[in-house]
Structure 1
Amino acid sequence: MQEINVCVQGKTYQYEKGTTFLHLAQAWQDQYEDAIILAVFNNKLIELGQVIPGDGDIAFLTTKDKNGRRAYRRSVVFLMQRALQQLYPDGTEILHVEHSLGAGYYCRMEGRKVIDSAWLENLKKEMLALVEKNLTIEKKTMKTEDARKLFAKCGMQDKERLMHYRSSSNCNVYELDGCLDYFYGYMAPNTGMLSYFALYPYEEGFILQFPDKVTTEVAPFAPANKLFHVMQASEQWGADMGIPTVGALNDAVCAGKTREIILSQEAYMERRIGALAERIVADPDKKFVMIAGPSSSGKTTFSHRLSAQLRALGVTPHPIPLDDYYLDRDQIPLDEFGQKDFECIEGLDVGQFNEDMVRLLKGERVLLPTFNFKTGKREYKDHYMQLGKRDILVIEGIHGLNEKMSGSLPKESKFKIYISALTQLNIDEHNPLSTTDGRLIRRIVRDARTRGTSAKETIAMWDSVRRGEEKNIFPFQEQADEMFNSALIYEMAVLKIYAMPQLLAIDQDCPEYAEAKRLIKLLDYFLGMPADDICNNSLVREFIGGSCFNV
């Protein structure tokens, strides 16, 4: 009997050649609090259904890990697709997974007019029956051309279009009880571990809700109505443009429509910024425009463009970054890891900010601080300000929506804006494009250009950035008076040209390699688009360079 040597948790074990990762995962499951769903073999992500290829180091990922969570969600979508196929074998009702919303996905059914609790309960019952059977989810390799024909026959036009631009002659598809589909990323080994989900009717579709922090409980569904409607409006505009998916964008690039796409998108964004400025100016009580959003949302360019629109309407905007109210660096509180927490609200001098803003609102002349990031100290030099009748302060910072930050100011004096890059494209019918991935790619490109930070370093710090966003920004987004989507329908095709070389530079031995490989696969779906026709005030210029603003 031939054996292989594998190292798990620092110890080496011998297993028979041909053993699967699933067999090992089952043997090690009692060492983990959450369900094992993926493996890492010699620093590469791998599915549990695969045979261990030889000697090497093995680690396990559970449904609590970010990649495990992604695999779980994809697999539940596949489970739902198979259940729908059983309920409607004629293929007249087509599932579309449109975008994430909190701890779930918003879905709609093409061909179905009414989606109510009774219909969803029937679907859930069918899904749970498949869970009970513990069916294998099997990866298969097909000729790309055969996959295109298969998806065309099944009515999955988005997948067919996507495969048209695949450079490889082969592709991986998944089979579940006779149902074939393509998914971006790794999958669970079987349906038996997919029992935690819920279905809720919402708007014209429904929410497929998943667990969040606790992997054995479905997260409560708290509708984010403002966020949803902004995303829907952006998706509708993309559909009206004839570019609802990555494949459609690639079609437009091939047809030589890049300039048309860029001009239309920029005009649409400028029109929305102008309408927002008009709404602010229409209320003379509004003196403080508070802008907040997660990393790489384009807050700086947006604030400049909004300020330009405000000036055009006869008011004078004054930018104030909340960063200028940082406490001196030696006073910054520590996080749970013992590191200085620059993103917590306690790291800002909230009292001084409120005092200064109240005095400005009263018409007093106030000396404002400037934070010196080189010395790590707040400085007072010659930055005096006094608000006139037609003056407005444009205040930007991650805590701008938190009422603790501006609690002393009258509610009627504030106009709060939440900005984020809410990607309107989908990869295909069943694979939404993550807005978080879009922001990460933006940041990789920008940080390499402006800070000399490698893609490896940006990926390494991203989890920490995300924790700060979930704590300090996302809980307050629905309190905004207006939400602004800064995503550009063409940007991933442009960012690809800048991001790809940086991602490819990450060595396989690095802990960030798996994430880099995942992003490379994502960008590989897009045809590259040159930046020549992008205007110098475009929001994407904040990341690729060439902006007319100081960003």
Structure 2
Amino acid sequence: MACSTYLGLTIRTPKTGDFCRWWNRRLPLQVLAWELQSEHPAPIVAVRVNNVLEDLEFVPSRDCQVEMVDMSSEIGLRVYAKSLTFILMRAAKELFPDQQLEIQFSLNKGFYGEMLGDQTLTPEMVDRLRERMWDIVRAAEPIERRVVKPEEAIRLLTEADRMGQAKILRYRKQDLVNIYSCGEFIDFSDEILVPHTGLITTYQLVHHVSGFLLRFPDQSDPFRIPDNVEQKKLSFIFRESDKWSKIVKVSDVCDLNRYIETEETGELIRIAEALHEKKIAQIADQIAAEPEKHRLILIAGPSSSGKTTFAQRLKIQLRVNGMNPVTLSTDDYFFPRTETPHDEFGKPDYESIHAVDCDLINKHLSQLIQGEDVEIPYYNFHTGEREYRGKYLTIDLNQPIIIEGIHGLNEKLTQAVDRSNKFKIYVSALVELNLNPMNHIKTTDARCIRRIVRDFQFRSHSPQRTLEMWPSVRRGEGRWIFPFQEEADVMFNSALVYELAVLSRYAIPLLQQVNSDEEVYGEAQRLLTLLDYFLPVNHDEIPNNSILREFIGGSCFFKEH
């Protein structure tokens, strides 16, 4: 955290997490960042002032609490990635003024994008972009921020021939917009950017498929691009979703809002839900084509992906195919709470595969597949103990076992069963929707909003608690889910193109409850800004078997709904 002489700034020291008092002149916090950089493990890219994210040029006008944000944090990495994208978009505007790049989705520790329209991005064009970006970075050109009203932002962007960027702002209900400029280039961003291009030195731009892949460091090593890991299956499912979005003419939030304005949302909901049903039926058909082979069906994915509803709908489709599946819950195989491993912060780590008694679940799976009668345990979350309540299970050849949980794709969980007898499914809400070409909506943000709504309604968790837990959830996903996603036989995208317009009605009042003195206040405000662009949609036309019902209520699969 930072301070000024004539001002009292309370600063968090990065090594201990304690707060100390600093006095300094009224100067941009960039000055303090230079002084404190040696105490940080990664480059400082922004600051938090009274729990609100600000750029390094911010000048405090009163006593406040300040924290330096570096790239070892998720927030810092987000600032870096958005600033890098801004530089790419400037380079593209200068080199190809009649074309428009679009960031489409996150992939391989970076962003995948293409040229809008019929223009194909060639390897030579990517080489030119890379060279121009490096020129801009070496020049350490200032990135200047202006905070203006939406009407003024629309005027500035239109004058700069950025009409595609400006159109979303007519839906903006909040009073102020960040307009950033660098050289002759301007754009708007709801994220904070770095104060000059010279801070963005570690990145990689390569030609990929029919577009580009823009890669940057991760939190664990902010000075190095991570090793390249092919994600062909994930890339395919994203590109398939993008193609479907274009078919229904909903490529961005403006398109969705036009559906809502013309009261055609009901048809869009029915089309989106029909696509889900078709995909689930196709997966069931694949499994049923070789029933003697697929004895174990494993469903995994990150938090709030709708895995539970997906599993229930798949079960129904399998029964349509003449199969009679049974389910096992990995939760019932948790070790007693006293044996739960702890994370690096000394807290119980329920996300770890070492919290699950893999030996016992493997033993039971082997016995079941061999036709033996097995007593299935029950995990009592109130007492933290495993119990046996006389629940026995026996299966025959027509009864595949469905296991749904975060570790489903990890071979350690089911190593006693031959891989050829498993059918692995990866489920995630892979949002294929942009605010505009530069500002794509992150899948993690959509899942976080789902979880805030669900946890409040059905788990009695405040939005503050959900936001406080989210970084730990994300760390668990990075360790125990994402490394195994390409092991899946199929991937299912549980996102619904209309869902944020529905979730906004529930999430906005909850996020507004987060007070400015709470550490997650800035994150709540960021999500509120995202939801601010969506016109609301009533939930009445959403079917009761929809994955979205798992989060808003009214599901036919859950008693509490």
Instruction: Bin the TM-score by the shorter chain.
Output: over 0.9
Shift of 1:292: 0.7
Q: Which of 58, 61, 65 is equivalent to 2:66? A: 58
SS in 2 for 1:505: coil
Q: Is the 8 A contact 2:334 2:379 kept in 1?
A: yes
* Residue 38 of structure 1 pairs with residue 41 of structure 2: no
Question: Which residue of structure 2 aligns with residue 160 of structure 1?
Answer: 166
* Residue 265 of structure 1 pairs with residue 268 of structure 2: no
Question: Structure 2 matches for 1:180-329, cutoff 5 A?
Answer: 180-212=186-218, 213-284=220-291, 285-329=293-337
* Residue 16 of structure 1 pairs with residue 25 of structure 2: yes
Task: Tell me: CA distance 1:215–1:2, structure 2 relative to 1, closer, same or farther (3 Å).
Answer: closer
Percent identical among aligned pairs is 37
Amino acid at match of 1:460: E
Shift of 1:40: 1.4
Shift of 1:353: 1.1
Question: Which residue of structure 1 aligns with residue 16 of structure 2?
Answer: none
Q: Is the 8 A contact 2:178 2:190 kept in 1?
A: no
SS in 2 for 1:426: coil
Shift of 1:331: 1.8
Q: Which runs of 5+ in 1 are unaligned?
A: none
Question: Which residue of structure 2 aligns with residue 7 of structure 1?
Answer: 10
Q: Is the 8 A contact 1:158 1:245 kept in 2?
A: no
Counterpart Cα distance in 1 of 2:202 and 2:173: 37
Question: Which residue of structure 1 aligns with residue 125 of structure 2?
Answer: 119
Task: Tell me: CA distance 1:7–1:389, structure 2 relative to 1, closer, same or farther (3 Å).
Answer: closer
CA offset digits 1:431-482 (Å, max 9, x no partner): 1101001111111111111111000001111111111111111110000001
Shift of 1:338: 2.1
Question: Structure 2 matches for 1:105-184, cutoff 5 A?
Answer: 105-110=111-116, 113=119, 115-152=121-158, 156=162, 158-168=164-174, 170-184=176-190
Question: Which residue of structure 1 aligns with residue 508 of structure 2?
Answer: 500
Q: Is the 8 A contact 1:209 1:221 kept in 2?
A: no
Question: Structure 2 matches for 1:270-419, cutoff 5 A?
Answer: 270-284=277-291, 285-419=293-427
Counterpart Cα distance in 2 of 1:169 and 1:299: 38
Amino acid at match of 2:247: D
Q: Is the 8 A contact 1:93 1:112 kept in 2?
A: no
RMSD: 1.9
Q: Is the 8 A contact 1:161 1:248 kept in 2?
A: no
Q: Is the 8 A contact 2:103 2:113 kept in 1?
A: yes
Question: Which residue of structure 1 aligns with residue 106 of structure 2?
Answer: 100
Question: Which residue of structure 1 aligns with residue 435 of structure 2?
Answer: 427
Q: Is the 8 A contact 1:369 1:378 kept in 2?
A: yes
Question: Which residue of structure 1 aligns with residue 15 of structure 2?
Answer: none
Amino acid at match of 2:447: R
Shift of 1:2: 9.3
Shift of 1:223: 2.1
Counterpart Cα distance in 2 of 1:515 and 1:144: 22
Q: Which runs of 5+ in 2 are unaligned?
A: 13-18
Q: How many residues align?
A: 548
SS in 1 for 2:413: coil
Counterpart Cα distance in 1 of 2:179 and 2:8: 30
Task: Tell me: CA distance 1:257–1:112, structure 2 relative to 1, closer, same or farther (3 Å).
Answer: closer
Task: Tell me: CA distance 1:403–1:28, structure 2 relative to 1, closer, same or farther (3 Å).
Answer: same
CA offset digits 1:309-329 (Å, max 9, x no partner): 111111101111111111122
Q: Is the 8 A contact 2:114 2:120 kept in 1?
A: no
* Residue 27 of structure 1 pairs with residue 35 of structure 2: yes
